Amino acid sequence: MTSLMKLVNALIILLLSIPMAFASVSSTDEFDRVLIGKNNNEKEIAIEWLVANLSGGKAKPILRAWLEGNLFYYRNKQSESYQQLYIIPTRNAKQAENIWDGELLPVSRTRDFAKVRVNNKLRSIIRMQLASLGLNSPDANVRLQAAEGLLGQTDHEIIARISAQLSVEQDAKVQDRLQLALAISTALDNTALTQQRIAAVDVISEYKQAVVLQTFNQLSPTSLEPELAAAVEKGLGQYHQSQRFYSGVETVFFGLSLGSVLVLAGIGLAITFGVMGVINMAHGELIMIGAYTTYVMQQLLPQQAGVALLLSIPMAFVISGLVGIAIERSVIKHLYGRPLETLLATFGISLILQQAVRSIFSPLNRSVSTPDWMAGAWELNPMLSLTYNRLYIILFCALVFITMVMILKKTPLGLQVRAVSQNRAMARAMGIRSERVDALTFGLGSGVAGVAGVALSQLTNVGPNMGQAYIIDSFMVVVFGGVGNLWGTLVAGLSLGLFNKLLEPWAGAVLAKILILVFIILFIQKRPRGLFPQRGRAAES
């Protein structure tokens, strides 16, 4: 009996000593000791002590470094820094920074440092504490990120912090996220009144965040009161309906961006093919030259990608235009009226241009940097984000199209081009030098192809074979829209881009292209001159 009492007393003393051990973190030295150890319960206490006793500006770097695996302790026993905590931001860093006084320690041997351990539970606690600390930031954007990080939390302490912050928050967006966090907590709280939970579900249904779907999935209708279950089903239906709508909007956006690429690739060919009747198989290589011009400009201005891209537009137009004029003056002018020979000659020129690029730049693909203002996405809401590079491609396509229309409608060159296009013999009789018009027209179409290459360099790698990927699409756009008609090219390019993106989800990328090709073949059987047939010489021939 005595031995039993001794055992009971020992167990009581042991149990009483555990909380004392947990509560032993009261200084920076003890914090270091706990984090170096293996007791995860003590580490949770250490996190609470750190947040409670240090300001957010000092606690956040420590917690973030621990979360990202950049927190280490020094284990060289011969040094005064033994078992002190340091932040090493990168693997190849030459110095380690002490977490308390910022003293730098040279990293001469990596084995002198050992990483502070962290498990999934501790990671979750650290993330929650980081988000909570962000609520006290003077920066509204930081508070907004912190509020979004707390969405879905049901811990009573966190909910109390959210409620306290909501009572003093001035920023409307942050208030909105805090209200959503409270509504989610109420909806998931089984102890709340049914009417309160229904009201919370109604509030949640108005939002588009992914956490809304997670919340509804946690609320199983089979275990809820009928009124609450009906509210959950209604909210879930609204969420899925919004998903389908914004998914459709995103598909249309991607279709327009693809269509803009097709318009840019085909608009130059529409000019040369429509006015001159030349089947230019080297059109894709003129696009390639424009893309390589962008690459060269970025090599000349390596630290200014945006400036280099803007300068590439006129440079690509000039270089590709000069190459186009050289092709027309040296080869094509001798082959007018002989379409088969023109096709073979321009195909040979395309091979020559490809080999020239391989000899100058090597056969390897080249990567063109995207400027900062084209990176990222424009988030309209959590369900819909529009990437900036594709958005700029659409705007750029519109700008190029308007410019070409203005050139053809408002300039002497445009008047002469339209005259030669409609009736070459009559234009010559009126004193128009058709040979000069042919050369300038071919140069104009080639320059626009080079500008298209600048745009395509932001969507794909630049390589010797990149033009081959767009030559077929260019001809499809021109034939479908109507040879020589810019408005037909615009409508055809955007339509084919939309059709392609609408078919891809259920047919796949390859089958979608095949179906579009079959559609164009059948369409041409009914309307051989395309959507907007050209008048004059092109129509007569």
Residue 13 has pLDDT above 60, yes or no: no
User: What is the mean predicted confidence (pLDDT) over 67-71?
Assistant: 86
Higher-pLDDT residue of 346, 80: 346
- CA atoms of 130 and 145, how far apart (whole Å): 10
The amino acid occupying position 93 is A
User: What is the mean predicted confidence (pLDDT) over 187-208?
Assistant: 88
Higher-pLDDT residue of 540, 426: 426
Element (H, E) at 106: strand 104-106
Higher-pLDDT residue of 324, 58: 324
Lowest mean pLDDT: which of 51-55, 62-66, 173-177? 51-55
Highest mean pLDDT among 106-120, 251-265, 466-480: 251-265
Closest CA to 374 of 357, 360, 392, 362: 392
- Please give the C-alpha separations between residue 75 and each of 19, 112, 116, 166, 369, in angstroms, as whole numbers: 28, 5, 11, 45, 43
Residue 414 has pLDDT above 60, yes or no: yes
pLDDT confidence band for 11 (50 / 70 / 90): very low
- CA atoms of 319 and 293, how far apart (whole Å): 8
Lowest mean pLDDT: which of 104-118, 229-243, 310-324? 104-118
DSSP-derived letter for residue 301 is S
Closest CA to 420 of 395, 443, 390, 440: 440
- Please give the C-alpha separations between residue 157 and each of 176, 179, 190, 439, in angstroms, as whole numbers: 20, 16, 17, 77
User: What is the mean predicted confidence (pLDDT) over 139-148?
Assistant: 82
Residue 317 has pLDDT above 90, yes or no: yes
Residue 214 has pLDDT above 60, yes or no: yes
β-pair partners for 384: 381
pLDDT digits 0-9 by tens, 264-294: 888 888 887 766 777 888 888 999 999 999 9
- pLDDT averaged over every residue in the chain: 83
What SS3 class is residue 111? helix
Span between the terminal Cα atoms of the chain, in Å? 117
User: What is the mean predicted confidence (pLDDT) over 21-34?
Assistant: 71
- CA atoms of 91 and 216, how far apart (whole Å): 42
Q: Which two tokens stand for residue 540?
A: 């007569």
Question: Residues of 20-42 as b/e, b for ≥16 C-beta within 10 angstroms?
Answer: eebeebeebeebbbbbbeeeeeb
pLDDT digits 0-9 by tens, 353-382: 999 999 998 888 888 888 888 888 888 888
pLDDT confidence band for 3 (50 / 70 / 90): low
pLDDT confidence band for 135 (50 / 70 / 90): confident
**Pairing state of beta strands 85-87 and 95-98?**
antiparallel
pLDDT confidence band for 19 (50 / 70 / 90): very low
Per the confidence metrics, is the pTM higher than 0.85?
Answer: no
pLDDT reported for residue 127: 78
User: What is the mean predicted confidence (pLDDT) over 476-491?
Assistant: 83
Please report, rounded to a whole number, the percentage of residues in the chain having pLDDT higher than 90: 13
Q: 450, 286 in Cβ contact below 8 A?
A: yes
pLDDT reported for residue 289: 93
pLDDT confidence band for 1 (50 / 70 / 90): very low
Higher-pLDDT residue of 11, 42: 42
pLDDT reported for residue 20: 39
- CA atoms of 491 and 481, how far apart (whole Å): 7
pLDDT reported for residue 16: 40
User: What is the mean predicted confidence (pLDDT) over 296-312?
Assistant: 89
Length, in residues, of the chain: 541
Structural domains of the chain sorted by starting position, each given as residue range(s) with its CATH number in brackets: 15-120 (no CATH), 147-244 (no CATH), 245-540 (1.10.3470)
Higher-pLDDT residue of 124, 484: 124
